[in-house]
């Protein structure tokens, strides 16, 4: 089938949905071109079909393609911020990383190397998971590219700074503790957003503070409002290189039932999108959207929410300096 694509500012954009039905053709993210169809990309979207680090419900290995299918409904103009991201930057779908589902250590190494390869020409990387284990190698790559520890905004119902599960140091509940220990995070500028629910004990919070994390709970978002939260986050981050990691379970199960460890009392999809939009202009060097598990996603609520979160993150990246300017 001949691809009828939108082209603006010399960038090859999505298939024109006014000429080819949304449900037809390959499901790349937002119906964008594949990376191998282009000479370069300013922003690459890549999937990591891996969920061997989960502690409860599996299925996030199918998340990236589920988000891609939901993203067929995305359009090329983002009115919330008055930006056409695919005209501002060349965005491409880089396909999926091939990682070992039986060896977490090998998988982590593969994700890190793939991330370094994809950003070698200066592209910014948005990753679709997969479980949250993959955040650690992605942060390693982001810090290496930045040449310094990076700031982190971690959207999640959970802290993900536990030490081990069943003696295992590398799981979806441990990546940010490992990242602090490895010195790849700027501990003056790291925050959780949207946390809630029961913990194993008060020590969980004490450890988290010791690592340097600020905590914005889902209740804080409700009581203080998005604008106040955004102002505090921006003040904490400043001009540092920023990595954003979004576990889709930051959303209330009413908005995102398709995830491995749901918790009641989460933020809404509207609140999450508005906080992300509030990061406009910050030095976003990389991002991920993880823990989408389609087997539990009735009516594709989670896939739709995750695709819009990814779209707004791509929009932020599209306005930043391009690969040939760095």
pLDDT digits (tens, 9 = 90+) for 216-231: 999 999 999 999 999 9
Is the pTM higher than 0.75? The answer reads: yes
Residue 323 is predicted with a pLDDT of 66
Q: How many helices (H) and strands (E) does the chain have?
A: 10, 10
Length of the chain: 326
Residue 2 is predicted with a pLDDT of 72
Domain housing 173: 5-325
Structure-derived torsion over alpha carbons of residues 289, 294, 299, 301, reported in degrees to the nearest 10: -20
Here the tokens at position 255 are: 């908005």
Here the tokens at position 107 are: 């998988």
Cβ burial 53-87 (10 Å sphere, 16+ → b, else e) = bbbebebbbbbbbbbbbbbbbbebebeeeebbbbb
CATH code where residue 143 lies = 3.40.800.10
DSSP 8-class letter at 204: H
pLDDT tens sequence across 70-85: 999 999 999 999 999 9
- 135/138 Cα distance (integer angstroms): 5
Counting the structural domains of the chain, the total is 1
Half-sphere exposure of 110 (CA within 13 A, CB side): 16
pLDDT tens sequence across 218-264: 999 999 999 999 999 999 999 999 999 999 999 999 999 999 999 99
């Amino acid at each position: 089938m001949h691809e009828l694509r939108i082209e603006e500012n010399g960038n090859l954009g999505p298939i024109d949905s006014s000429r080819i039905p949304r449900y037809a053709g390959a499901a790349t993210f937002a119906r964008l071109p594949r990376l191998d169809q282009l000479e370069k990309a300013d922003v690459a979207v890549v999937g990591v079909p891996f969920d061997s680090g989960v502690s409860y419900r599996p299925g996030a290995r199918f998340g990236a393609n589920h988000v891609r299918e939901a993203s067929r409904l995305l359009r090329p103009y983002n009115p919330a911020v008055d930006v056409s991201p695919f005209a501002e930057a060349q965005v491409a779908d880089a396909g999926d990383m091939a990682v070992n589902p039986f060896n977490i250590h090998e998988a982590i190494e593969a994700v890190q190397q793939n991330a370094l390869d994809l950003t070698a020409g200066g592209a910014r990387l948005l990753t679709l998971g997969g479980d949250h284990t993959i955040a650690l190698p992605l942060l390693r790559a982001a810090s290496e590219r930045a040449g310094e520890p990076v700031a982190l905004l971690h959207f999640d119902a959970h802290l993900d700074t536990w030490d081990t599960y069943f003696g295992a140091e590398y799981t979806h509940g441990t990546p940010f503790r490992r990242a602090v220990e490895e010195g790849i995070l700027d501990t003056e500028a790291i925050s959780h957003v949207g946390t809630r629910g029961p913990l194993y004990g008060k020590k969980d919070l004490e450890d988290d503070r010791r690592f340097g994390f600020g905590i914005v709970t889902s209740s804080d978002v409700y009581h203080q409002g998005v604008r106040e939260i955004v102002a505090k986050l921006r003040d904490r981050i400043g001009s540092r290189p920023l990595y954003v990691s979004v576990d889709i379970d930051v959303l209330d199960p009413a908005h995102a039932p398709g995830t491995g460890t749901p918790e009641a009392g989460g933020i809404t999809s509207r609140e999450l999108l508005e906080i992300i939009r509030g990061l406009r202009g910050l030095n976003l060097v990389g991002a991920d959207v993880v823990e989408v598990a389609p087997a539990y996603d009735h009516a594709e609520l989670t896939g739709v929410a995750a695709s819009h979160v990814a779209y707004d993150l791509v929009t932020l990246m599209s306005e930043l300096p391009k690969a040939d300017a760095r």
